[in-house]
Amino acid sequence: MKRFTASLWGLAAITAMVFLALCFSPQPSSPAPAVPADRLQINAAGATFPYPIYSKWFDEYHKAHPEVEINYQSIGSGGGIQQLKAGTVDFGASDMPLNDEMLAQFSFKLVHFPTVLGAVMPTYNIPGVSAELKFTPAALAGIYLGKITKWNDPALTGPNPGVNLPGNDIVVVHRSDGSGTTFVWTDYLSKVSPEWKRMVGSNTSVRWPTGLGGKGNEGVSGLVKQTPNSIGYVELIYAIENHLPYGQVENSSGRFIKASLATVTAAAAGAATAMQHDVRVSITNAPGQDAYPICSFTYLLIPEKISDAAKRKAITGFLQWMLTNGQGMAEGLDYGRLPKAVVAIDLKAISQID
């Protein structure tokens, strides 16, 4: 019995010691704890909009540099901003650039790095309709305001004369989480509909007049795919990968444009000059005959000062790689590559990080 109890106490003591050792072993202070020498894990979070290309990039970069593991969680642009502010991740990602007011809320300085161009389009699931629908700005605003409720509304049948739109109720799908994609969508709607701007506004999270909420681009495309007569807004790659039809949108020149690499690049064409001063631009409803009206740059938010040398090297290394090798992979996943002028701006900005 003596041995039994003694060994019990001994076991308990050892377990306690091991556990305490694990928890309280000294760590260098930094925004997020470092990991032993050879394996470096960097935590990041943010936009779901570019998640497919980011996850491909981080994976490819990991293959090229096996000791660097970048753990990116796509929780939405709002999440990326908040967690970066709280210091729980090493860098963030957002489709919505942070204005000066938001930047003031941070206790450290950030650098915005545009990475790719993406397009947001209306995707829909109407039984029996496989054609590509044409949407006017008024139609999109009306649907999302809850004013246009049926698929055979004149605002929809007008631009689509050959299509047999049913009289079913439109099921509106939007984001339930804080999303840069939402920001791009609502930014566009605010520009084309004064009523939308007045009633709802634009942000990563808004008060939706109507509709179901899906979590992430993934959740919205999932809901649209499974719900007949629905319409949602998703990033291009999500519509393509899930075989969802997406429509053409009328741009500021009055032409109906389908989102594609060419039309997205056209929208960004005029932006490069403005970005010399400030990379935070909005390119929704951009001027230009061939410009697709609902697209956006997406940004990585990198802290200006990274105290951990290993992390700094890894992050700046990744940025370098992303701007040179990475850009070539963007078009394969239907994201627009950055205009050359913007790549130059970015490369110069890397030196800001120290």
Partner 1 sequence: MGSSSIFLDNTRLGHPTPPGAAGRVRSWIRRLASGDEVAHIITLIFAASIVLVTLLLVLELYRNSALPRHKFGWAFFVTSIWDPVFENFGALPFIYGTLVTSAVALLIAVPLGVGAAIFLAELAPPRISDALTFVIELLAAVPSVIFGMLGIFILVPILRIYVEPFLKSTLGFLPLFQGPMFGVGFLAAGLVLAIMVVPFILSVSREVLLAVPVEQREAALALGATRWEATWKVVVPYARPGILGSVFLALARALGETMAVTMVIGNDPRISASLFAPGYSIAAVIANEFTEAPGDLYRQSLIEMGLVLFILTFILNGLARLLILATTGRGTERA
Partner 2 sequence: MNRRTWRKVVNGVMLGLTGVCALATVSVLFFILGYLVLNGGRYLSWTFLTHLPVPVGETGGGMANAIVGSGKLLLVAAGVGLPVGFMGGVYLAEFGGRTFPFLVRYTADLLNGVPSIVMGIFAYTVVVLPMHSFSAVAGGLALGAMLIPIVLRSTEEFMRAVPRSMREGALALGANKWRAIATVVVPAAIRGIATGMLLSLARVAGETAPLLFTSFGNPYWSSGFRQPTSSLPVMIYTYAISAYDDWHRQAWAAGLVLLALVLAANIGARMILSRRMSSARG
Q: Which of 67, 132, 169, 241 binds partner 2 (CB under 8 A)?
A: 241
Q: How far is the CB of 177 from partner 1 (least distance, A)?
A: 6
The 10 Å Cβ neighbour count of residue 153 is 17
- 10 Å CB burial of residue 327 (0-12, 13-18, 19+) is buried
Residue 177 near partner 1 by CB under 8 A: yes
d(CA 300, CA 318): 12
Binding partner selected for residue 241 from partner 2, partner 1, none, CB under the kind-specific 5 to 8 Å limit: partner 2
Per CB under 8 A, does 140 bind partner 2?
no
Distance, CA of 173 to CA of 166 (rounded, Å): 18
| Residue 218 touches partner 2, criterion: CB under 8 A | yes
Q: Which does 203 bind (CB under 5 to 8 A by kind): partner 1, partner 2, none?
A: partner 1
Q: What's the number of CA atoms in the CB half-sphere (13 Å) around residue 195?
A: 12
Footprint (CB under 8 A) of partner 1, residues 34-93: 45, 75-83
Helix (H) or strand (E) holding 71: strand 68-74
Give the nearest distance from C-beta 75 to partner 1 in angstroms: 6
> Rounded to the nearest 10 degrees, how much is the dihedral formed by the CA atoms of 196, 274, 82, 108?
-150
Using CB under 8 A as the criterion, what x/- string covers residues 103-142 for binding partner 1?
----------------------------------------
By CB under 8 A, residue 22 contacts partner 2: yes
DSSP states along 14-54: HHHHHHHHHHH-----SSS----TT-EEEEEEE-STTHHHH
Segment near partner 2 (CB under 8 A); pick from 91-99, 111-119, 234-242, 265-273: 234-242
Q: Report the nearest approach of partner 2 to the CB of residue 213 (Å).
A: 11
Footprint of partner 2 on 45-104 (CB under 8 A): 45, 51-52, 55-56, 58-59, 62, 69, 71-73, 86-89
Does 219 participate in binding partner 2 (rule CB under 8 A)? yes
- Window 225 to 244, contacts with partner 1 (CB under 8 A): 226-228
Residue 58 or 246: the one with the smaller Cβ distance to partner 2 is 58
Q: Kindly tell me which of 34 and 155 has the beta carbon lying closer to partner 2.
A: 34
Query: How far is the C-alpha of 133 from the C-alpha of 345, rounded, in Å?
Result: 38
Q: Give helix 309-321 / helix 340-350 axis angle, nearest 10°.
A: 170
Comparing CB distances to partner 1, the nearer of 61 and 91 is: 91
To 10 degrees, the CA torsion angle through 5, 7, 9, 12?
A: -140
Q: Does 204 bind partner 1 (CB under 8 A)?
A: yes
Please say which residue, 59 or 169, places its beta carbon nearer to partner 2. Answer: 59
In sequence order, which ranges of the chain are alpha helices (DSSP H)? Answer: 2-24, 51-64, 77-86, 100-104, 137-145, 154-157, 180-192, 194-199, 216-226, 236-241, 261-269, 271-275, 309-321, 327-330, 340-350
214 is an interface residue for partner 1 by CB under 8 A: yes
Beta bridge partners of 234: 121
d(CA 270, CA 94): 22
Task: Pick the binder of partner 2 from 10, 33, 146, 194 (CB under 8 A).
Answer: 33
What's the Cα-to-Cα distance from 193 to each of 271, 278, 283, rounded to whole Å?
A: 23, 26, 16
Residues at the interface with partner 2 (CB under 8 A): 1, 4-5, 8, 12, 15-16, 19, 22-23, 27, 30-33, 35-36, 39, 41, 43, 45, 51-52, 55-56, 58-59, 62, 69, 71-73, 86-89, 214-216, 218-219, 221-222, 224-225, 237-238, 241-242, 333
